[in-house]
Structure 1
């Protein structure tokens, strides 16, 4: 799981924004499944995981972006992208390649690429579209997963489900294939 996060960071750093966004949106599904009794993802698990681990990371992003002397003046900031809206967006993007979902409270989601402007618009609503800084969103999801992993990685439930998690095998996956790196 940590290798997936490392590769997501590399993808973001190299400007592969589609890959970064698609991967970041799958993290709550994967984490919700790994931390469940049956090892399967559901919409309810996605939303619950995002609400606990992803959504609150906005404060970490905001605090990291401002000078230390100004941090004491920042109070709790509400992330308008709740679990339901994030899940609906994930469904529309990953299954239909769309940024619009008919049940969404927003007319569309717009992710602003890093370096596109000197201003940072993160979770701002403009003409009923939710504008999100792509790098900040991905970093919030990565941070949420890292925090979550620190808490659950040694639990029996996680270990049981992680045994079936896709992994990179640098020398092959016996008895199927050997001598070449595979993901399986």
Structure 2
């Protein structure tokens, strides 16, 4: 079986970014379903109007990240379909095929990343963001006293 290869081809970390952005923008610094949906609809939703809502993206994120599937019982679609990048020179994106949603992986990843950058420009100077970012996972190239000194790590 090649589960690890299949899993790596789908943008699981990109699906988590709306959660992170929503949390970093909130007073309590926590990810919540409604924050994910609101963030997606505000920043990415226009690109997927009539195809992918924040709620459906949230359900896809939940099913993929937690169960390794593209099928969620609360989704508007029976599943999400990705055509493999090397399978064709055609682009298949934002298509509804019977009861399934087809999304181009590269376009989807680039859309999310582009909108994360837009969002960051908007919030980076706010007090809420600064407070939450202080606790955000970071790389410490020289360690972090009193835990580890002289060795790079992430915490």
TM-score (norm 1): 0.77
Mapping of residues 19-30 of structure 1, within 5 Å: 21-30=11-20
What is the match of residue 53 of structure 1?
43
Decide which of 100, 118, 122 is 1:147's aligned counterpart.
Answer: 118
d(CA) in 1 for partners of 2:6, 2:133: 27
Higher share in helix: 1
Give how far 1:115 is off.
3.0
In structure 1, what is the equivalent of residue 62 of structure 2? 91
Q: Cα deviation per residue 1:112-166 (whole Å; 9 max; x = unaligned)?
A: 3323211101111112110100010000000010000011001100000000000
Gaps of 5+ in 1: 1-14, 59-76
2:25 equivalent to 1:35: yes
CA contact (8 A) 1:17 1:113 kept: no
CA change 1:20–1:162 in 2 (3 A) is: farther
Map 1:60-75; keep pairs closer than 5 Å: none
Q: Contact 1:46 / 1:83 at 8 angstroms: preserved in 2?
A: yes
CA–CA distance in structure 1, aligned partners of residues 99 and 61 of structure 2: 18
Query: What does 1:1-184 correspond to in 2, within 5 Å?
Result: 18=8, 21-56=11-46, 58=47, 78-184=49-155
Q: TM-score, normalised by structure 2?
A: 0.91
Gaps of 5+ in 2: none
1:175 Cα deviation (Å)? Answer: 1.3
Contact 2:7/2:68 (CA < 8 Å) preserved in 1?
no
List 4+ stretches of structure 1 deviating above 6 A: none
Contact kept? 2:44, 2:111, Cα under 8 Å: yes
**Shift of residue 18 of structure 1?**
2.3
Residues of 1 paired with 2:55 and 2:146: CA distance? 42
**Number of residues paired by the alignment?**
151
